Structure 1
Amino acid sequence: MRPATPQTLLGVGTLTLGALLAAGATQISAEAGYAGVGPNFLPWLVAVALMLCGGFLVWEARSGGFREMEEPSGAASGFWPGFAWVSAGILANAALITRLGFILSCALCFVLAVRGFKASQGRPDRSPKAWLVDALIGMAIAAPVYWMFTQLLAISLPSLTTTGWL
């Protein structure tokens, strides 16, 4: 038996995550609902899949390690300014979605994430035109998603106005 490696720990962590999800699924009602499945079906499905993957990862690591792994690409360390831009976008979206509405908060998240990704590629463009173009692209992506959820699926998302279109 080989000593524990980071690969084995990854498998054990995946198994543990699956077990924790299964424990949480036991707390969800099993009453059958729409289409004959209850609300605990999906958590159980994901828990079983995670535990199967975790078991396979442990077996793979203990029987010779992950085979045919490619050398990692990219920089030796993370690009922290890019991480900060993307994190700011996600946090701003979470903080402002009820104030600005889904479309504008998601567009802001998109703009900030693009700043981070472009900076990580060595192409930081902070011109007003770039900010505007990214904001318009973000709104062009978020608006159809918002309309599909609210108008077609009747799922309520935060809006800027009471019309249901912004």
Structure 2
Amino acid sequence: MADSPQNKSLHQSLVGVGALLVGAVMAYGATFISSDAGYAGVGPNALPWVVAVVLLICGAWLIWEAQSGGYRQMDEPSGAERGDWRSAAWVVGGVIANASLITSLGFILACTLCFTLAVRGMRMSEGKAGGGARQILVDGVTGMLIAAPVFWLFTKLLAINLPGLTASGWL
């Protein structure tokens, strides 16, 4: 079912309003970050301010585009009429599991679980089977092969503390 031109303009304007809101929240949050100059005179609040300003500019631009004729170069929507909530639940579940278990399981295992659940959801969104025990094992190993080097890169090379499973710092 196609949207009327007025509905399209409203929906497109709401995307711009959303960008403005996110930019405003980021700008508000940046006011609470210390502005003490660090390396090369740039403080820790510089990047949040840059992102906030860019979001505010993009939000205003999106609203202007929507109100002056709509997104002119936008392709017609493709895909299913409705969202695949079951697949989305797997992806969201993976993200929530990661956020809630990262301090108890450690970065590597929590990210492996997140990857495994998200890949299952993505696979199902394409109309494929979610996968049996063998596929879960393959996805888990793949997730671990991605998460472990990232963990080691951040903790060993960049000296950024990420939650680990053991005190040794290798898991």
Q: TM-score, normalised by structure 2?
A: 0.88
Moved more, 61-70 or 139-148: 61-70
Amino acid at match of 1:103: I
In structure 2, the partner of 1:7 is 12
1:52 aligns with 2:57: yes
Match runs of 1:1-166 below 5 Å: 5-166=10-171
Give secondary structure in 2 for the equivalent of 1:5. Answer: helix
Distance 1:54 1:126 in 2: 40
CA RMSD of aligned residues (A): 1.8
In structure 1, the partner of 2:3 is none
CA change 1:87–1:13 in 2 (3 A) is: closer
Amino acid at match of 1:57: L
Amino acid at match of 1:23: Y
Distance 2:105 2:48 in 1: 32
Aligned residues: 165
Q: Percent identity?
A: 60
CA shift digits 1:20-74 (9 cap, x unpaired)? 3223323332221122111221121111111111121122122211102211111
Shift of 1:80: 1.0
CA change 1:88–1:20 in 2 (3 A) is: closer
Distance 2:40 2:150 in 1: 26
Moved more, 147-156 or 49-58: 49-58
Segments of 4+ moved more than 6 angstroms: none
Q: TM-score, normalised by structure 1?
A: 0.90
CA shift digits 1:114-161 (9 cap, x unpaired)? 111111112114321111111100000000000001110111111112
